[in-house]
Amino acid sequence: RPVVTRPETQAIDMNSRSNTLADRDIVPSDQTFGFLGLGMMGSTIVKDLIYTKHKVVVWNRTIDKCQPFVDAGAEVKDTPMDVVEAADIIFCCVSDPKGAKDLVFGNCGVLQLKDLRNKAYVEMSTIDPETSMDIGEGIKQCNGRYLEAQIHGSRQEAAEGMLIILAGGDRTVFEECHSCFKTIAKNTFFLGNVGNACKVNLILQTILGVSLVGLAEALALADRFSISLNDIIDIFDLTSMKSPLLLAKGKEMAKGDFNPQQPLSHMQRDLRLVLNMAENLDQSMPVTSITNEVFKHTKRLGYSEHDSSAVFVRSRF
Ligand code: NA7
């Protein structure tokens, strides 16, 4: 098997700003916002929250990642529990449902505080509806308020303040987060009960995953015929099938540039969550099942941390 080079980890540029921020006329809430998880998404969001003058308290498992935010004016805490103590509204943005649950139910986790009166917890990590309901129940049992706020969009869209927020749960929390959501997103939807936003997010991810595998297979076939991939993309651009995302992903596949905007491991996680949801409903999803297998295999080839468009590499075999 060829050795695959991991994509370079890009350091967060604390000085970069999305062009959209200047036009949004943001009046920061005077509440204190906690933030758990400073990965690529979390970092980008917190950077913009600090820029728009929100009071922010942060924590990250790898503590070194907090330093640039402290330099920019945030406070750092040693544990998730300490962040909850110091903040009014706490956002969480980590890799997966297990990480999200650990931060709430684990050692030094949110629920160690026991009394969450006057606190609100906002889950931004991509999770399934059951996990969200479990977290929501735990928070409510300690008298806290809970909102799931799933963030739909790529890392580039996060950097441009162009995410879409899909929220469900406590409407008062949704409203209190208005200035934060306005900072990071172009659209925000309140979808009712806890679980609904997770379902909608995962449904959108299903469309994305299946589309990417279709695109990769078609381009791989073109490649076998030695037809220029750039020509295919130029013609595709003139058709009614075109979409900005498929055009961008097609270009990345043609160039072999898999800089992670939507990491492949996240895409496969989402498909796994979708299939679990469908399983519980006896809903048949044969195409999504195969799509999941394709992404799983691409992960095994070493492309977990690359962009989801790296699925093209597997299609070429
Ligand atoms: P990244 O850049 O892969 O970052 C993942 C973050 O999650 C990072 O801060 C990790 O901490 C943290 N993490 C992962 N597992 C855990 C556990 N078990 N406990 C605590 N913290 C954890 O992902 P993105 O920022 O692109 O995406 C984050 C979410 O937003 C994801 O759900 C997307 O779908 C939407 P580390 O720095 O490794 O110590």
Does residue 126 have its Cβ closer than 6 Å to ligand 1? yes
Closest atom of ligand 1 to 44 CA is 25
**In contact, 53 and 110? CB cutoff 8 Å:** no
What ipTM does this complex have?
Answer: 0.99
Q: What are residue 151's phi and psi, to 5 degrees?
A: -105, 120
Q: Is 39 in the pocket of ligand 1 (CB under 6 A)?
A: yes
How wide is the angle at C-alpha 251 spanned by C-alphas 249 and 256, nearest 5°? 90
Q: Does residue 80 line the site of ligand 1, with CB under 6 A?
A: no
Ligand 1 atom with the shortest distance to the CA of 42: 25
Closest atom of ligand 1 relative to the 126 alpha carbon:
32
Cβ-proximal residues to 196 (8 Å cutoff; 6+ apart), any chain: 129, 168
The Å distance, Cα 39 to ligand 1 centre, comes to: 5
Per-residue pLDDT reduced to its tens digit, 207-257: 999 999 999 999 999 999 999 999 999 999 999 999 999 999 999 999 999
Q: How confident is the model at residue 300 (pLDDT cuts 50, 70, 90)?
A: very high
DSSP state of 192: S
pLDDT per residue over 242-296, tens digit each? 999 999 999 999 999 999 999 999 999 999 999 999 999 999 999 999 999 999 9
pLDDT confidence tier of residue 18, bands split at 50, 70 and 90: confident
Number of the ligand 1 atom closest to the C-alpha atom of 37: 9
Instruction: Assess whether the C-beta atom of 37 lies below 6 angstroms from ligand 1.
Output: yes
CA gap 41, 155 in Å, rounded: 6
Nearest Cα residue to 309 out of 203, 201, 211: 211
Out of 12, 94, 269, 307, mutate this one to test ligand 1's pocket (max ligand atoms within 8 Å of CB): namely 94
Q: Answer yes or no: is the C-beta of 94 below 6 A from any ligand 1 atom.
A: yes
* pLDDT number for residue 316: 85
Find, among 109, 178, 121, the residue nearest to 147 by Cα: 121
Counting from 1 in the atom list of ligand 1, the atom nearest the Cα of 99 is 18
Is the distance from the beta carbon of residue 266 to the nearest atom of ligand 1 less than 6 Å?
Answer: yes
pLDDT at 81 > cutoff 70: yes
Report the pLDDT value the prediction gives residue 13, as an integer from 0 to 100.
83
Q: Is the CB of 102 under 6 A from ligand 1?
A: yes
